[in-house]
Chain A
């Protein structure tokens, strides 16, 4: 695996940790924006050879995940006039520690399950890490925008895992996946906007009227 590709994957993990450890909503959104850009570059760096499909997909990923989606989320944050997360269900310190443990386990797992692809070990480890970190942020955070950020992180991790199969999953499907993620986030953003209007806050623990 080339040095640049390794660097890209390492930066992806660092972006994960930024989201895990920070309370500032805009920092979280910028971190996943960076992740989106890195993810767009990853297929070009990991696999040799150029093709129109690959370049188009890279550009599309960078535009959607790196520009459009983060801008949309930042707009939602501005609308809600919230800058910081309220104290999450699991504090930042335990989050960071848990995140590190997950990272170690993911690397250990990747060693045992070799994939017949270039740089398989690091890619699988980073992918699994990102998925678990995203799932963690989605469930442990209370602010609605942070939950969407967690969802995006999870999708990023799954996309990275898909890269190990990139040669086998055709371009059209990748495009479909990208589109689904985009529309999904879009709808979530609209819902966040409405939640803010109705509840005057985007703390999802306020969404507790419906009960057994």
Chain B
């Protein structure tokens, strides 16, 4: 039993354990403990790199470690938040809630440590299935509609990704001596031997399939509804962790394609999807009046940014990876804060909420902080990562792309700021009283905000090393 096994089995067994117990308080404590243990395991992986097991199926390289850290951190924060959330909301079927959360963690961990493409697919599909019950836990009409759209679109996406995986196997089998089927290392090593036609077809299907999971345009239609109706902590996990896992799948595919020398085929596709997502999301951000739907479009935009950085190559890849980390943290921060805002909304309080800085001071501050974090303002880490990506555009000889990106980011800032500032400032819409805020609900987002500032100021050398290694594996380099 190595760390890699434990990373997957611990939450999986935890999910089973949570399903068994009746006492809700016990379940939430169980959740927090497992999340903490998982975080500890991840920390250990930073200190001493674990060796590959299961014949190379499970391994943790720099890329996987980065994504795993994002997932684990976000989950830890979400677990702490869940304590306060479940106390307040007490959703029907609290048992399923915790089990599905832990199941999600297990599946996401599987995606990060898997070096076999089919196993990666299984993990990603499992994450889809694990969050579905979480999305419609309220069992009302709107969440039912949201989960149905999510299931349909995600299933199509994930099925296409499976087809892409099989096409990848076909590319491998077309020539001899290509090593074990669908193993990442063997695919990279046998790059030149892979059949280019099958490989290109595989890359397109994997791009579309994983892109649907990430929420790239034009497969983003499920995002606003799903993030809008799901409980905020679930939406935060999806926006921060699930999309990053899907991005990991995409990056694994890019690794293989780059090793096979077919990068030139993929670059225009990546740039197109990236820019389209940026532009469409920025446009749709303007005029949004619902906070969570706004954040969903912001998520689409940032996914576009990630893919754009990947397509730009060079320093852009490093920026993309750094942004994956920062975006995950920022989305977590904002969604959890949005959850606090929603929880404080009194029943019958129609219309927009205003004056949050007075009624919900801590959450109000966090909301404004989150605004600057997610739109890439200094001193937050997102500024550094977005700057790196844009610089990668100019350095790589794509000045127009760089300019367009900056324009889209500016538009997005205006869109988000309009709503957030409107919500935070001004006279309160309802009563003037300060609503008491549970410590459980704010400590998590506050920590994420602190982390984001820290990353904006200083990138620790171990992180920088891992990011550079991962960027190099993807055909890029550190800036």
Contacts and interface: CB of A to CB of B under 8 A. Distances in A.
Interface of A: 113, 115-117, 131, 135, 138, 144, 147, 151, 154-155, 158, 161-162, 164-165, 168-170, 173, 176-177, 180, 183-184, 187-188, 190-191, 194-195, 198-199, 204, 207-210, 212
B347 interface: no
Question: Main SS of the interface on chain A?
Answer: helix
B21 to A, nearest CB: 22
A198 B143 CA distance: 11
Interface string B166-188: 11011011100000011000000
A151 B141 CA distance: 23
B129 interface: yes
Interface residues of B, number: 45
B193 interface: no
B122 interface: yes
A151 B155 contact: yes
Main secondary structure of the interface of B (DSSP, over half): helix
Contacts of B144: 191, 194-195, 198-199, 207
A165 B181 contact: yes
Interface stretch (B132-140, B366-374, B408-416): B132-140
A168 B142 contact: no
29 contacts: A115-B173, A116-B174, A135-B156, A151-B152, A151-B155, A151-B159, A154-B156, A161-B163, A165-B170, A165-B181, A168-B181, A168-B182, A169-B166, A169-B182, A170-B181, A173-B116, A176-B118, A176-B122, A177-B162, A184-B125, A187-B129, A188-B155, A191-B147, A195-B148, A198-B140, A204-B148, A207-B144, A207-B149, A208-B145
Contacts of B173: 115-117, 165, 168
Contact of A131 (B128, B163, B228): B163
Contacts of B172: 168
Contact of A169 (B139, B156, B169): B169
Given A180-B125, A191-B132, A168 B169 contact: yes
A147 B151 CA distance: 11
Contacts of B152: 138, 147, 151
A173 B168 CA distance: 15
A113 B159 CA distance: 21
Contact of A165 (B116, B122, B145, B166): B166
B229 interface: yes
A151 B132 CA distance: 16
A-B pairs, 4 with minimum CB distance? A168-B181, A176-B122, A207-B145, A173-B118
Contact of A209 (B132, B142, B162): B142
Given A161-B166, A194-B136, 18 more contacts: A115-B170, A135-B156, A138-B152, A155-B162, A161-B163, A165-B173, A165-B181, A168-B169, A169-B181, A169-B182, A173-B119, A173-B122, A176-B119, A177-B118, A187-B129, A191-B151, A195-B148, A210-B142
B126 interface: yes
Contact of B122 (A161, A180, A188, A191): A180
A170 to B, nearest CB: 8
A194 B139 contact: yes
B32 interface: no
A190 B139 CA distance: 11
B142 A187 contact: no
Contacts of A209: 141-142, 145
B308 interface: no
Contacts of A184: 125, 128-129, 151, 155
